[in-house]
Amino acid sequence: MRVRLLKILAKTRRRLPVVLIAVLLIGLVPLTSPVPVAEAAPTGEMTLISDPDNFLNFTETGPLPEETVRIRFTNTAGAAITDVASTIQYVTLAAANLNPSRVEILSQAYWLIHDPSNSRPDLGPIAVAGVNETAPAYYSPYSTSIPVAIWHWNLGAPDGLSNRVNYTDSSQFASDLRILRPGEWVDLNITIRCRGVVGDSRIWFFPRATEFEPTSVPVTDLSTIPVGDDRMNIYYQNTTLPIRPVGWYPLHISYDPYDANIDSGTGHSFEQVGSAPLYGWTRIPTTTRFAKTNKLVHQTQVEDGRTELFPSTIHICGTKFLDLNGNGVYDPETEPGIDGVTVTLLGADAQTLASQYYPGNFTYPSPEDLHPDTLQSGENMLTGSYCFNLIEVKPGTYTFFVKILEADGLTTAALIGPIVITVSDTSPATAVFSIHHDFGNLREVPPVGGVALSVDKLGLLAPWIGLLGVLGFLVSVVAVRKKRED
């Protein structure tokens, strides 16, 4: 039997490597890999142009500080710039402010549309007033019970006046149209303002989904979609496809951050592939399948330096999070924060409380002065967040450690450090930040303010499906050759 098997393999050795490589390549390609197709659908990605972290320092008597934040949304459809079916209309971007008690978003914003091919000049800046969405608003990746503040900014009709309310043919193009063709990007500049309270907030940016639900598909008449916020991030399919006839459709990566009618209140995007009659209007539950980016904002009070001998401050911050993938790295997109865990700031010996190790060298602001060197995660009203705010810091070099009081289940070290910070004798005040000192665990604890994520099981299994295909092929070859030999 062994001799026969060797003969069979020898006879097929010339053709087998080629077939084997082909099957392996097919099997290892993820089944969900997107392939750019003209006249299929637009898509896009969000980029934060401003710094991902910022620090808004306020004083007792001065004006509250503000910052301009710039976000870029790019149409990444793999089609020609003249492709109507890959062009986004009624472009709408949104911002979810997770902790509005610490920072607020102002209504007035500015747009600018840029075409890198220079087939039209930059359009803008265009002033647009934002819409503060009805409270209570929820951002389901963060929490389905803790309200947040959500704003969105809509560029409106292609001509800005609703006189020409659609763009259904490339011959209608004009350089002043507020549309996003393949390859173009739009920059949105918004303003955030500190509320004068110590603490942190995180702001998520995403393309906002329309709330319109058609009673029948396809939607061939735009007038059936009410003017206003129901017209957000839509496109016109101007040629018939097997799974999508001519009509108006929602941008599949646009996102509704909370939908009480779908999957226990997660957000939704839109199905874009499959067989008829999906057509792209079918809502699917999701917390991750959309383009987005985020910014972390720190607010702290500093002295104005006029009367204080030591006006500088130190801020040591991080997050306690549920480490869903167990890699020890905090992913704010998918991993919820955990409140109510004790975090302690220690001195250079990693044992003594910081204020006792450096007696008289700094103090804490209210209410932290009631429990110096000890915080509860989530105490500043951002889920899982903690931040030690040291004020009136004397000049010198300080070494700190941060310790979490948790016995088991940790995926990160229970002690972070040394954190070495040098403060110089300067006036006005200097605020020194040391951030991203995060603690994760895998314990079976309820996610405080978060949504467990589904896994793309088909995508994960694709390489193994390919391997099984190779093994099946080899077995069939051996069986056929054996039969012939017999």
Write the single-letter amino acid at 325.
N
Instruction: For residue 374, give the CATH number of its domain.
Output: 2.60.40.10
Distance, in Å, from the CA atom of 378 to the CA atom of 1, rounded to the nearest integer, reads 69
Is the distance from CB of 385 to CB of 319 less than 8 angstroms? yes
Q: Are 443 and 408 in contact (CB under 8 A)?
A: yes
pLDDT confidence of residue 452: 34
Same domain, yes or no: 343 and 421? yes
Is the same domain home to 287 and 407? Answer: no
Q: How many domains does the chain have?
A: 2
Does 197 lie in the same domain as 80? yes
- Among residues 294, 323, 350, the one where a domain terminates is 294
Note whether 384 and 235 are same-domain residues: no
Residues 279, 334 within the same domain: no
DSSP for 374-402 reads EEETTTTSSTTEEEEEEBSPPSEEEEEEE
- Is residue 24 situated within a structural domain? no
Domain assignment present for 36: no
User: Which contacts of 279-282 are long-range, i.e. CB under 8 A and separated by 24 or more positions?
Assistant: 279/217, 279/218, 279/243, 279/244, 279/245, 279/247, 279/249, 280/41, 280/244, 280/249, 280/250, 280/252, 281/213, 281/214, 281/217, 281/219, 281/249, 281/250
Judgement on whether residues 174 and 311 belong to the same structural domain of the protein: no
Give how far the C-alpha of residue 348 lies from the chain's centroid of Cα atoms, to the nearest Å: 36
As given in the structure block, the two tokens for residue 380 are 């500043």
The CA–CA distances, whole Å, from 399 to 20, 257, 300, 373, 424 equal 59, 41, 21, 14, 15
Nearest partner of 20 among 32, 9, 31, judged by Cα:
9
Q: How many CA atoms lie within 13 A of 410 on its CB side?
A: 15
pLDDT recorded at residue 420: 96
Neighbours of 157 (CB within 10 A): 21
Question: Residue 154 falls within a domain, yes or no?
Answer: yes
pLDDT tens, position by position, for the chain (486 residues)?
Answer: 444 444 444 444 444 444 443 433 334 443 333 444 555 689 999 999 987 766 666 666 678 888 899 999 999 998 999 999 999 999 999 999 999 988 999 999 999 999 998 889 999 999 999 999 988 899 988 888 899 999 999 999 998 876 565 789 999 999 999 999 999 999 999 999 888 887 888 999 999 999 899 998 899 999 999 988 789 999 999 988 877 889 999 998 899 988 877 766 788 888 876 555 556 888 888 766 677 888 787 777 665 555 555 678 889 999 999 998 888 899 888 888 999 999 999 999 999 999 999 999 999 887 888 889 999 998 888 999 999 989 888 989 999 999 998 766 788 888 999 999 998 865 555 778 888 999 998 754 443 333 333 333 333 344 444 555 545 555 454 454 555 555
Contacts of 64 (CB under 8 A, 6+ apart): 58, 193, 194, 195, 196
pLDDT of amino acid 16: 44
| pLDDT score, position 55 | 64
The pLDDT value recorded for residue 246 is: 93
Cβ neighbours of residue 354 closer than 8 Å, sequence gap 6 or more: 345, 346, 347, 373, 388, 390, 400
Task: Verify that 280 and 318 share a domain, yes or no.
Answer: no
**Predicted local confidence at residue 17, as pLDDT:** 46
For residues 49 and 197, membership in a common domain is answered with yes
211: phi > 0 → left, psi -120 to 50 → alpha, else beta; which?
Answer: alpha
- Specify the length of the chain in residues: 486
Q: What is the pLDDT of residue 26?
A: 39
Same domain, 360 and 404: yes
Residue 476 is assigned to a structural domain of this protein: no
Please provide residue 100's backbone torsions phi and psi, each rounded to the nearest 5 degrees: -65, -10
> In the prediction, which pLDDT does 369 show?
84
For residues 58 and 185, state if they share a domain: yes
What is the residue range of 243's domain? 44-294
Q: Give which of 29, 68, 24 is closest to 49, Cα–Cα.
A: 68
Q: Would you say 453 and 268 are in contact if contact means Cβ atoms under 8 Å apart?
A: no
